[in-house]
Amino acid sequence: MASSVVAGRDLTKRYGEGDAAVNALRGVSLDIAPATFTAIMGPSGSGKSTLMHVLAGLDRPTEGSVEIAGTEIGTLDDGDLTRLRRDKIGFVFQAFNLVPVLTAEENIRLPLTLAGRDDAGGRVERLLEAVALADRRTHRPAELSGGQQQRVAVARALASEPAVIFADEPTGNLDSATSAEILGLLRRAVDEFGQAVVMVTHEATAAAIADRVIFLDDGQVVADDSGLDAEQILDRMKALA
């Protein structure tokens, strides 16, 4: 499907065997369109993190297929998958996002360096400006605040002009003001840089910034809506709990 950057088909993920088997995903299909902000929500154990890992090529589904930027990833070996992650996917995790021995700028440049690519267009410079860290470029992560670290992480995710950015609870460790800042950055990534962003979160206020919210429960998609506000999202979540 050419119009989507990520496509999951009939994804199931089973852990364990026989009676002890746990189905983390039971037949999930979804498409992520370019330049959209998608939030994946659900209670603990709903399978939202597993879904993200499978969609991002970090984990292999038990059944079903995933296509990222037109590449079916089921048949890729570890090396190809790694290169795909490097070139087509950006990641923002909840914590431990940065390599402690590298400076802010080097962390942002990391995907390019790993790929041996030149930063021809001065993208890293623009990203440093965009996340307002130009004056902190030579600082190491330990010398940055939690919010600054996450801004570096977002900039890093954008550095390789990926097809999609996956953000796993990116505001989980932050206070509300800093959270808003990071969410704003992700929003700008969609609006200004035309990125697709997929964010896993359990916070309704965070999900409200997304264009589309997918609700997961017990490994299945139970709702898939666009244009919800925080209140509506909270109601949905309460209904699921």
* Binding positions for other proteins, rule: CB under 8 A: 49, 53, 58-59, 78-79, 82-83, 85-87, 91, 93-102, 110-111, 113-116, 156, 160, 168
Comparing CB distances to other proteins, the nearer of 1 and 101 is: 101
- Does residue 101 contact residue 45 with C-beta atoms inside 8 Å? no
Quick one: CA torsion of 127, 92, 73, 11, rounded to 10 degrees?
Answer: -140
- Smaller CB separation from other proteins, 13 or 212: 13
CA dist., res. 188 & res. 195, Å (int)? 9
Nearer to other proteins, 95 or 180 (CB): 95
Distances (CA, A) of 232 to 12, 13, 211, 213, 222: 28, 29, 14, 11, 15
Name the DSSP class of 118. Answer: -
Write down the least CB distance from residue 91 to other proteins, Å.
5
Least distance from other proteins to the Cβ atom of residue 226, Å: 29
CB atoms within 10 A of CB 229: 11
Looking at beta carbons only, is 78 or 135 nearer to other proteins?
A: 78
Q: How far is the CB of 224 from other proteins (least distance, A)?
A: 25
Amino acid at site 125: E
The least CB distance from residue 201 to other proteins, in Å, is 14
